[in-house]
């Protein structure tokens, strides 16, 4: 008698969220257009007993709620908010089945709300606030009901990879293993070059086609990025705390405005540790920059080595850069076409790895000048 809807609910929700992801927008208008196109409110139709109706509503809300939290990207989380709004209001039970919100997830919801307000997505902010005021949520201790069912394996909702936040993807790309492999290939390549050169100890000048310090550069970039992420997270958390204590105005000006996608706990700390491990192996040395770049030496400034000064400078520069970019990116609600820039966290505030931006920050390796001889 009891039909299990877990997998079908997952399919339908992901279907709608994928279509929303494709629109590259966070506007509720776009979402509701998709909702109407798919006739999503009919998901509650069909002859069902009261008990079944209630169980189904509860499961639908629980499935949609899963997409509302990290590690999903900001756009998916906004989509999940709209989806929850839709499902709650179109369900057929009386009294309505509520959405469960656990204590441990409150921080993330609050940070999300702050992100949305800072980025001036008025429709999302309005909907979230409306949901709070119409008492849509049950404030609970734990996210799900717990019955101590050790024998029955509860289906654990898996994370949909397509919706994962891209800011975590850098860390998954540049891992210990990947760097090790690249090093090995690099060394092998060097050896091959030496083997075919006239001087067996070093490769011919004519064969130097790539950057010599490729691996250490990659590692530096990854570490930089991770540190920058951590910094932003810390700043945002700090800003939230300060706000709670009433020092609203000052902090808002100081901190950046484009705060989407920054407030999430991700596995980057684990990656950082792995990267630290690589560093301690054989890349502790600093390669000397070529003669043409002597005025800009490479600085090792990751945690554990390098001068603190370098760190502080970099932090300050980055903050300034972010603040500028954030302010530029804050668009009014009416201007809808800038949506792409607003919602893309990487484009917004990812530190640009190019020379011309700032001169007082650490060395940024210029794009390699390739001398191709065909």
**Is there binding between residue 288 and another protein (CB under 8 A)?**
no
What are the contacts of 133-136 at 24+ separation with CB within 8 A?
A: 135/98, 136/84, 136/88, 136/98, 136/99
CB of 161 to another protein, least distance (A): 17
Q: Which of 239, 28, 13, 35 is nearest to 126 (CA)?
A: 28
Interaction residues for another protein, span 291-350 (CB under 8 A): 333-334
CB of 153 to another protein, least distance (A): 9
**Is there binding between residue 93 and another protein (CB under 8 A)?**
no
- Output the six-digit token pair for 76: 């998916």
Among 21, 114, 137, 164, binds another protein (CB under 8 A): 137
Rounded Cα distance between 182 and 345, Å, is 28
Decide: 79 and 33 in contact? Cβ < 8 Å: no
What sign does the dihedral 112-75-128-55 (CA atoms) show?
A: negative
**152 phi and psi, to 5 degrees?**
-85, 125
Among 22, 103, 206, 210, binds another protein (CB under 8 A): 103
- Give the residue carrying structure tokens 């189904």: 56
Q: Which stretch binds another protein (CB under 8 A): 131-139, 183-191, 209-217, 273-281?
A: 131-139
**Is there binding between residue 45 and another protein (CB under 8 A)?**
yes
140 or 176: whose CB is closer to another protein?
140
Among 21, 23, 58, 96, binds another protein (CB under 8 A): 96
Interaction residues for another protein, span 19-38 (CB under 8 A): 28-29, 32, 35-36, 38
**Is there binding between residue 147 and another protein (CB under 8 A)?**
yes
Question: Residue 164 in 3-state DSSP?
Answer: strand
String marking each residue 237-256 x if it binds another protein according to CB under 8 A? xx--x---------------
């Amino acid at each position: 008698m009891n039909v299990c809807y877990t997998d079908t609910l997952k399919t339908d929700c992901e279907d709608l969220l994928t279509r929303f992801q494709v629109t590259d927008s966070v506007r509720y208008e776009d979402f509701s257009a998709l909702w109407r196109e798919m006739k999503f409110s009919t998901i509650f139709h069909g002859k069902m007993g009261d008990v079944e109706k209630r169980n189904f509503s509860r499961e639908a809300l629980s499935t949609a709620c899963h997409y509302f939290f990290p590690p999903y990207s900001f756009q998916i989380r906004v989509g999940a908010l709209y989806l929850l709004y839709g499902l709650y209001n179109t369900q057929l039970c009386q009294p309505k089945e509520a959405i469960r919100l656990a204590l441990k997830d409150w921080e993330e919801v609050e940070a999300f709300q702050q992100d949305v307000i800072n980025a001036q997505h008025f429709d999302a902010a309005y909907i979230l606030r409306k949901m709070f005021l119409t008492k849509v949520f049950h404030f609970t201790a734990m996210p799900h009901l717990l019955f101590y069912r050790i024998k029955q394996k509860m289906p654990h909702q898996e994370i949909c990879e397509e919706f994962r936040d891209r800011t975590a993807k850098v860390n998954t790309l540049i891992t210990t293993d990947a760097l090790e492999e690249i090093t090995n290939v690099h060394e092998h390549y060097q050896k091959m070059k030496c083997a075919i050169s006239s001087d067996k100890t070093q490769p011919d000048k004519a064969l130097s086609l790539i950057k010599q310090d490729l691996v250490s550069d990659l590692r530096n970039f990854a570490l930089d990025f991770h540190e920058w992420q951590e910094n932003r997270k810390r700043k945002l958390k700090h800003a939230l705390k300060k706000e709670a204590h009433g020092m609203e105005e000052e902090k808002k000006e100081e901190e950046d405005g484009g705060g989407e996608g920054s407030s999430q706990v991700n596995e980057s700390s684990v990656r950082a540790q792995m990267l630290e491990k690589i560093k301690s192996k054989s890349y502790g040395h600093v390669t000397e920059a070529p003669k043409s770049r002597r005025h800009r030496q490479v600085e090792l400034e990751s945690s554990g080595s390098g001068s603190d000064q370098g760190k502080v400078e970099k932090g300050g520069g980055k903050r300034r850069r972010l603040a500028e970019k954030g302010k530029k990116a804050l668009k009014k609600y009416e201007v809808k076409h800038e949506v792409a820039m607003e919602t893309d966290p990487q484009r917004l505030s990812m530190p640009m790895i190019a020379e011309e931006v700032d001169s007082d920050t650490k060395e940024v390796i210029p794009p390699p000048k390739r001398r191709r001889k065909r």
